[in-house]
Amino acid sequence: MNTLGIDLGAPFGLQLSAAAEFYAGFAPMGGAAQRRDEQLQLVFRLDGTFEAVSVIALQHGARLRLDVDGYAWAAVGEADPALGAAKRQFPGFFTAGFPSPYEAGVGGVLSHRTSVKRAAAVRRTLSEAHGEEVGGLFVLPSPAQLLDVKAFPGIATKKLEVLHGLARAAVDGTLDAERLRTLSTEFALRQLEQIHGVGPWTANCQFTVAGCMKYLFFALLPACLGGADCRSRSAPVSAARTSALM
């Protein structure tokens, strides 16, 4: 096992215990995360190479530091009353999401027109049947492995065709996070929506994940919500109203 220590000195205010509790119950991950005492274990595929890896995070000291702008995360909580109230209600919580645009796309397609719980169950069984076991957990099939799946219980034929389109886009580099970050928001979203069966919601999710690897999620929020579904666009409004009543 290789051990890597990262200390970037930014004031995230993130506590690993809060992250572990969240990810362990994060249904869209489909069993790809678990809490082990005060540790957080995640299994996922690396963006670009799609190698399956298992990561165990341990926190030393009061804060966990990640590779995004922690100062911006602190500042946005002070500038936005709704977000500030949410941060105070859930201390130690930080932005979280999928590890790559590929996994974000698969998650978006599997959850379309079904419950989050059902989509998570399908993802888990798909990973167990066609993915790989790393560190005692099962990771999602790689794009090449997914293309070999011709039928699967719980996944309709048309939905599987969309998943195959995502897999091909991942293989040819269309979903590469580094590439997406070099594009304008509008152009990147248009490219993602050209993938068969990918709509605005899934495209926005994929692009947000690509941005999250380097930039703070909330810096991309206005652009991403521009093409999002009604529920996503109304969420900040609802949060603001709730904050105003507190």
Which positions ≥6 away from 193 have C-beta within 8 Å? 199, 200, 203
In the DSSP assignment, the letter for residue 47 is T
User: What pLDDT score does 31 carry?
Assistant: 76
Mutual orientation of helices 116-130 and 101-110 as an angle, nearest 10°?
A: 120
Angle at 101 between CA 100 and CA 107, to 5 degrees: 95
Which positions ≥6 away from 172 have C-beta within 8 Å? none
Q: In what order do the strands lie in the sheet with 52-57?
A: 33-36, 39-45, 52-57
Give the number of other Cβ atoms within 10 Å of residue 52's Cβ.
Answer: 22
Q: Which residues is 40 bridged to in the sheet? A: 35, 57
Strand intervals (E) in 79-176:
132-134, 137-139
User: What pLDDT score does 62 carry?
Assistant: 39
Confirm whether pTM is higher than 0.85.
no
Instruction: Indicate the burial class of 239 (C-beta count within 10 angstroms; 0-12, 13-18, 19 or more).
Output: middle
CA distances from 217 to 44, 154, 188, 223 (A): 20, 32, 16, 11
CA 128, chain centre distance (Å): 20
Taken in order of first residue, the domains within the chain and their CATH numbers are 16-89 (no CATH), 101-230 (1.10.340.30)
List per-block mean pLDDT (blocks of 10 residues) for the chain, which spans 246 residues: 53 65 72 77 89 78 47 75 79 68 89 88 95 92 97 96 95 90 86 87 73 39 46 54 53
User: What pLDDT score does 94 carry?
Assistant: 60
| CA 165/CA 198 separation, integer angstroms | 9
Instruction: Indicate the burial class of 206 (C-beta count within 10 angstroms; 0-12, 13-18, 19 or more).
Output: buried
